[in-house]
């Protein structure tokens, strides 16, 4: 019954989305307000239907209803409730449902917010959002990706959630990424509506800028949480591997960053209209490409769902979006002429444009490296790939320019700034940067890390600029209000949230780059095989393997319980001493390989790293146990106890794990010391704070909104009188 209701919601939702698209076009062409209203209400209806479908599917997971294909594939009776809730978006079909649901929510909110504004643009925007929703719903209803598909013969037990996905970040990482991808559909839809109606002023930007910033914030948080997940859990010691799906998330974020800067130029000066329209299209297309890469299987990635039949529909849809949007921009070039010209290269708009060019260049470099395997295969017939060295070499120079621009930009005014004024504004930040450069040059090996020294210098420059701007603004505020420094600073930010939120974002990006540059340039790593009692040295630390550990992590009767095998490691440096306990969890092979008992040692495994966090440096360790000494006893146990009751087998498994601990064989360790890497996460938190500051409406805006709502209510009352 639940499955029938869920699929019915998807089917009716598809009809509602299609109706919204058709009715939106009709309302846009005829100007009939009642049709536009019905199209908007169809989107509201779609949101309600997909919310019901989400609840239906989640309830099936919570009940462990293995008659559903998805539930049987991605959950089990012993999967904790927390991970049952996240299992939905671990699958292809479930993530498509989440995508469509988020789109319906975004669309409903923006259409509700603009229901009394942009009445010529909104019907077309509704139509565009309806088309996008129709595509994603058709993947589930028409192209066989039904999240409510049933099994003719339900299994008694499900496969369980993939071990690598059993992490708290699974609750927020995918939804944040999808919220970012989906959110960029809002400015895209309204940009298309503005182009169709030739309303190419900045009004559509003002109505959708907040949604673009929300999408950018969600996507950035998703990327950062994914990096933290990789660093703290996956067992290789890094946070960014230039994986195709990682790159696919970064590209729309970079383009979204460019968009958030360039739309300010159109708002203030009426310039860059063609550029902004093109950038909105590129950002949304990049978001679709990111979604496509996860689902198509065309590029190998640890994050992808694997090969599927969705590649062709996605490519066709992306192609249609790109071709039709570009054709629309070309057909409206006469309406996209700038209202003003660039007065000076020493102006905020000129540096915003330069910032945009660097961000787009970064995106193109990443796109080239990501899709190089397909490009090389098309040209040479051989699928060749580029690795992290290519991306690092190509992106570092552009990143240096970008950080420099982040420092200079806030000092510039619109139209032009005189050289004398700029010189005065740059004096203190340049002095701080010069002092930082000389100090770093004396303290580090310049030949080995000159690009990092240059990055640190530019970071010092950016932070000095931001501090100077806050100090100047606070001083000016105190002269007027006679407030204390903290009160004046708080009032300053409250009255200029967008401006000072942007400064915080710049500071956060600089701090984040500090962590990236330091942990990359001065990273120390050692992979070593040690036996109990043996030691190794790394970056001044003495690391000693004391003894192995082995444990069953669940009750003894639980035949799906993972086995944990690890080590106790002593770490010493100077007078400091602490203990680390890296381990590896082993899950039973679901295909039965290894025998009734051996399968518990031959299935999937996950690294449980131990990590000592610190503001100055992190010490990270992981272990790869050597289980070769257990293979003989495992074969013997399979022969003798392969048909024994589950409780007996559990006791044998525990005894085998204990045998490993008693034998104390050597193990392979990876030890890493990463200076200042914690500042990546601190910088990300500052970026989030800045974004939230910019998003929060100022008091004046809230008063204007309240006044307009009161006026609207008064108008309705007068019309009824």
Structural domain of 43: 1-166
Q: Give me the mean pLDDT over the 354-373 stretch.
A: 94
3-state secondary structure 210-221: HHHHHHHHHHHH
Mean pLDDT of 677-685: 96
> In this structure, are 307 and 266 located in the same domain?
yes
Q: Do 265 and 363 reside in the same domain of the chain? A: yes
| pLDDT score at 137 | 96
Higher pLDDT, 561 or 354: 354
pLDDT at 702: 52
**How sure is the predictor about 718, in pLDDT bands with cuts at 50, 70 and 90?**
very low
pLDDT of residue 304: 54
| Claim to verify: residue 78 and residue 56 sit in the same structural domain | yes
Residue 356 has a pLDDT of 95
- Nearest 10 degrees: CA dihedral of 44, 45, 51, 53? -150
Burial of 224 (0-12, 13-18, 19+ CB in 10 A): buried
Q: Which of 288, 298, 295 is nearest to 319 (CA)?
A: 288
Same domain, 409 and 441: no
**Top-confidence residue, 707 or 345:** 345
Q: Which residues contact 141 (CB under 8 A, 6 or more apart)?
A: 7, 10, 11, 14
Q: Is the pLDDT of residue 721 over 50?
A: no
The predicted pLDDT at position 699 comes to 57
Instruction: Answer yes or no: is pLDDT of 705 > 60.
Output: no
Which residues partner with 536 through β-bridges?
A: 543
Range name among 1-15, 580-594, 685-699 with the lowest pLDDT average: 580-594
- Whole-number average pLDDT of the chain: 88
Q: Do 509 and 575 share a structural domain?
A: no
Least confident of 302-311, 515-524, 581-590: 302-311
Are residues 54 and 120 located together in one domain of the fold? yes
| CA quadruple 490, 495, 501, 507: dihedral sign | negative
Which are the contacts of 327, defined by CB distance < 8 A and separation ≥ 6? Answer: none
Given this model, what pLDDT does residue 555 score?
41
For residue 698, name the pLDDT band (cuts at 50, 70, 90).
low
pLDDT for position 689: 95
pLDDT of 491:
85
pLDDT at position 559 over 60: no
Residue 688 has pLDDT above 80, yes or no: yes
Specify whether 120 is located in the same domain as 88.
Answer: yes
| Residue 190 within any structural domain of the chain | no
pTM, two decimal places: 0.91
315/564 Cα distance (integer angstroms): 43
Q: What is the mean pLDDT of residues 689-716?
A: 65
First to last CA, the chain: 50
Query: What share of the chain in percent tops pLDDT 90?
Result: 55
| pLDDT 10s digits, 27-72 | 999 989 999 999 999 999 999 999 999 999 999 999 999 999 999 9
- H-run or E-run covering 587: none
Average pLDDT over residues 183-191: 96
| pLDDT in the model for residue 477 | 84
Q: Give me the mean pLDDT over the 522-538 stretch.
A: 94
User: Residue 70 has what pLDDT?
Assistant: 92
**pLDDT above 50: residue 558:** no
Residue 712 in any domain: the answer is no
* 701 occurs within a structural domain: no
Evaluate if residue 549 carries a pLDDT over 60. Answer: yes
Asked whether residue 710 is domain-assigned, the answer is no
Q: Which residues contact 59 (CB under 8 A, 6 or more apart)?
A: 2
Coil, strand or helix: which one is 334? helix
What is the per-residue pLDDT for 429?
93
Name the region of 297 (left: φ>0; alpha: ψ -120 to 50; beta: rest). left
pLDDT at residue 557 is higher than 50: no
Q: What is the pLDDT of residues 211-269, one digit of tens each?
A: 999 999 999 999 999 999 999 888 888 999 998 889 999 999 999 999 999 999 998 88
pLDDT of residue 183: 96
Same domain, 686 and 661: no
pLDDT at residue 517 tops 70: yes
CA angle 80, 221, 469 (to 5 degrees): 150
Does residue 255 belong to any structural domain of this protein? yes
Over range 477-504, report the average pLDDT.
86
Q: Are residues 62 and 154 in the same domain?
A: yes
pLDDT band for position 553 (cuts 50, 70, 90)? confident
Q: How many domains does the chain have?
A: 4
Q: Picking from 80-94, 450-464, 682-696, which range would have the lowest pLDDT averaged per residue?
A: 80-94
Q: Rounded to 5 degrees, what angle do the CA atoms 366, 225, 696 make?
A: 100
Residue 265 lies in a domain: yes
Say how far residue 68 (Cα) sits from the centre of its chain. Answer: 29
Q: What is the mean pLDDT of residues 9-25?
A: 96
Is the residue at 237 inside a domain? yes
Q: Is residue 126 part of a domain?
A: yes
Q: What secondary structure does DSSP assign to 131-164, as a single string?
A: HHHHHHHHHHHTSS--TT-B-SS--SS-----GG
Same domain, 451 and 533: no
Residue 321, both tokens: 């979006």
Across 4-38, b (16+ Cβ under 10 Å) vs e yields: eebbebbebbbbbbbbbbbbbbbbbeeeeeebbbb
Torsion from C-alpha of 306, 307, 309, 311, nearest 10 degrees = 90
Q: Are residues 316 and 438 in the same domain?
A: no
Residues sharing a CB contact under 8 Å with residue 616, sequence separation 6 or more, in sequence order: 675, 676
Mean pLDDT (whole number) for 663-672: 91
Q: What is the mean pLDDT of residues 150-172?
A: 87
pLDDT tens, position by position, 412-435: 888 888 888 888 889 999 999 999
Asked if 142 and 117 sit in the same domain, the reply is yes
Shortest CA distance to 173 belongs to which of 219, 241, 211? 219
Once rounded to an integer, what is the mean pLDDT over residues 523-550? 94
Query: Are 387 and 373 a contacting pair, CB within 8 Å?
Result: no
Average pLDDT rounded to a whole number, residues 139-163:
89
pLDDT at 697 over 90: no
Average pLDDT over residues 559-584: 87
């Amino acid at each position: 019954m639940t499955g029938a209701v869920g699929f019915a919601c998807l089917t009716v939702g598809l009809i509602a989305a299609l109706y919204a698209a058709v009715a939106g076009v009709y309302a846009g062409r005829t100007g009939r307000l009642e049709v536009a209203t019905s199209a908007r209400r169809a989107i509201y209806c779609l949101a309600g239907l997909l919310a019901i479908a989400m609840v239906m599917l989640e309830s099936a997971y919570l009940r462990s209803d293995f008659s559903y294909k998805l539930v049987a594939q991605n959950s089990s009776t012993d999967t904790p409730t927390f991970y049952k809730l996240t299992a939905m978006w671990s699958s292809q079909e479930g993530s498509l449902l989440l995508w469509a649901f988020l789109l319906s929510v975004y669309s409903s909110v923006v259409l509700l917010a603009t229901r009394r504004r942009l009445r010529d643009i909104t019907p077309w925007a509704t139509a565009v959002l309806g088309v996008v929703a129709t595509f994603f719903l058709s993947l589930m209803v028409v192209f066989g990706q039904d999240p409510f598909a049933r099994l003719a013969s339900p299994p008694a037990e499900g496969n369980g959630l993939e071990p690598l996905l059993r992490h708290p970040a699974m609750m927020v990482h995918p939804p944040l990424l999808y919220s970012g991808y989906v959110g960029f559909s809002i400015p895209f839809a309204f940009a298309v509506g503005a182009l169709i109606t030739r309303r190419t002023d900045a009004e559509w930007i003002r109505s959708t800028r907040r949604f673009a910033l929300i999408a950018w914030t969600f996507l950035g948080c998703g990327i950062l949480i994914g990096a933290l997940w990789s660093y703290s859990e996956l067992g290789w010691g890094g946070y960014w591997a230039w994986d195709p799906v990682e790159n696919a998330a970064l590209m729309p974020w970079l383009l979204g960053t460019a968009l958030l800067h360039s739309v300010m130029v159109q708002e203030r000066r009426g310039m860059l209209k063609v550029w902004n329209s093109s950038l909105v299209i590129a950002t949304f297309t990049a978001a679709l490409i990111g979604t496509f890469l996860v689902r198509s299987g065309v590029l190998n990635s640890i994050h992808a769902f694997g090969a599927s039949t969705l590649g062709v529909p996605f490519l066709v849809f992306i192609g249609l979006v790109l071709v039709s949007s570009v054709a629309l921009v070309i057909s409206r070039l006469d309406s996209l002429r700038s209202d003003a010209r660039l007065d000076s290269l020493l102006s905020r708009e000129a540096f915003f444009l330069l910032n945009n060019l660097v961000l787009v260049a970064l995106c193109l470099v990443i796109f080239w490296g990501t899709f190089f395997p397909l490009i090389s295969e098309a040209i040479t017939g051989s699928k060749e790939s580029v690795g992290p060295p290519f991306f690092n070499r190509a992106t570092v120079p552009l990143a240096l320019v970008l950080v420099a621009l982040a420092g200079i930009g806030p000092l510039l005014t619109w139209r032009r700034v005189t050289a004398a004024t700029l010189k005065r504004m740059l004096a203190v930040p340049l002095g701080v940067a010069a002092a930082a450069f000389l100090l770093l040059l004396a303290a580090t090996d310049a030949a080995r890390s000159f690009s990092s020294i240059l990055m640190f210098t530019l970071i010092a420059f950016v932070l000095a600029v931001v501090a100077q701007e806050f100090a100047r603004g606070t001083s000016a505020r105190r002269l007027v209000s006679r407030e204390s420094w903290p009160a004046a600073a708080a009032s300053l930010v409250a009255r200029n949230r967008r401006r000072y939120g942007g400064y915080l974002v710049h500071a956060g990006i600089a701090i984040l780059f500090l962590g990236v540059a330091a942990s990359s340039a001065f990273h120390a790593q050692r992979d070593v095989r040690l036996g109990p009692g043996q030691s190794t040295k790394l970056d001044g630390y003495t690391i000693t393997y004391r003894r192995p550990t082995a444990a069953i992590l669940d009750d003894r009767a639980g035949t799906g319980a993972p086995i944990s095998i690890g080590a106790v490691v002593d770490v010493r440096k100077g007078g400091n001493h602490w203990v680390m306990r890296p381990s590896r969890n082993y899950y039973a092979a679901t295909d039965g390989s290894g025998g009734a008992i051996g399968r518990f040692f031959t299935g999937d495994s996950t690294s449980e790293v131990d990590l000592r966090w610190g503001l100055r440096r992190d010490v990270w360790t992981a272990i790869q146990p050597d289980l070769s000494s257990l293979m003989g006893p495992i074969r013997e146990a399979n022969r003798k106890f392969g048909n024994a009751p589950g409780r007996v087998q559990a006791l044998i498994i525990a005894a085998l794990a204990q045998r490993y601990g008693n034998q104390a064989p050597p193990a392979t360790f990876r030890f890493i010391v990463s200076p200042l890497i914690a500042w990546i996460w601190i910088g990300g938190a500052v970026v989030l704070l800045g974004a939230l500051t910019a998003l929060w409406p100022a008091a004046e805006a809230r008063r204007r909104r309240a006044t307009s709502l009161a006026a609207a209510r008064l108008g309705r009352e007068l019309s009824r009188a």
